[in-house]
């Protein structure tokens, strides 16, 4: 009887091992094309002049540096104020050509380069900035900037 109980125990353990769920799938690697799509959405939000869409591109605990402000900007509320000032400038077209992407993992990357802003509402105006944006995929699947650093290119 002991042998039968032992054998049934081994069978039960073997079957339990076979019925376990496979290990969780590893996150898919982030590609340059994926990063470009996120940056394109970011530029589209900036071009929209829709403050809510722009705000949605930033994480709640975002840290930012703006060329017109000497201090670090921390958090979504402070960045909302900065974004509202940007919307008031009416730059309704943003180009971010030839960005450099540094993929740090499946949910994190840095985009850096120059951005050209054009405003065509009223008197046409233009401006350029250099940028570094750190994007992180959020638990809901959306990508948001967690760190932004902007400065003006040197005059040559």
pLDDT, tens digit, 9 for 90 and up, residues 55-104 = 999 999 999 999 988 999 999 999 999 999 999 889 989 999 999 999 99
Asked whether residue 114 is assigned to any structural domain, the reply reads: yes
Element spanning 130, H or E = strand 125-137
CA 24 to chain centre: 24
**Cα 54 from Cα 80, distance rounded (Å):** 9
pLDDT for 13-29, tens place per residue? 343 444 443 444 567 89
pLDDT of 41: 97
pTM of the predicted protein model: 0.80
Number of folded domains in the chain?
A: 1
The CATH number that applies at residue 36 is 3.10.450.50
pLDDT for 91-133, tens place per residue? 989 999 999 999 999 999 999 999 999 998 878 889 999 999 9
pLDDT of 8: 36
Asked whether residue 66 is assigned to any structural domain, the reply reads: yes
pLDDT of 122: 76
**Cα 44 from Cα 133, distance rounded (Å):** 15
pLDDT of 124: 83
Nearest to 44 by CA among 155, 152, 143, 153: 143
Asked whether residue 21 is assigned to any structural domain, the reply reads: no
pLDDT of 120: 85
CA 148 to chain centre: 10
Q: Which domain holds residue 88?
A: 30-151
Asked whether residue 2 is assigned to any structural domain, the reply reads: no
pLDDT of 121: 80
Taking residues 20-44, what's their average pLDDT? 82
Asked whether residue 38 is assigned to any structural domain, the reply reads: yes
Nearest to 44 by CA among 31, 33, 27, 57: 57
**Cα 54 from Cα 38, distance rounded (Å):** 13
């Amino acid at each position: 009887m002991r042998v039968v109980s032992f054998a049934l125990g081994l069978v039960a353990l073997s079957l339990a091992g076979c019925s376990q769920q496979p290990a969780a799938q590893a996150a898919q690697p982030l590609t340059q094309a994926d990063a470009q799509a996120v940056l394109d959405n970011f530029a589209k939000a900036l071009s929209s002049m829709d403050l809510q869409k722009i705000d949605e591109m930033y994480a709640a605990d975002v840290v930012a540096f703006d060329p017109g402000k000497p201090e670090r900007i921390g958090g979504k509320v402070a960045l909302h104020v900065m974004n509202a000032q940007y919307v008031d400038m009416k730059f309704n077209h943003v180009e971010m050509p030839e960005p450099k992407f540094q993929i740090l993992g499946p949910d994190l990357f840095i985009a850096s380069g120059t951005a050209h802003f054009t405003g065509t509402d009223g008197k046409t105006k233009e401006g350029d900035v250099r940028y570094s944006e750190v994007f992180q995929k959020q638990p809901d699947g959306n990508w948001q900037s967690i760190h932004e650093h902007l400065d003006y290119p040197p005059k040559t």
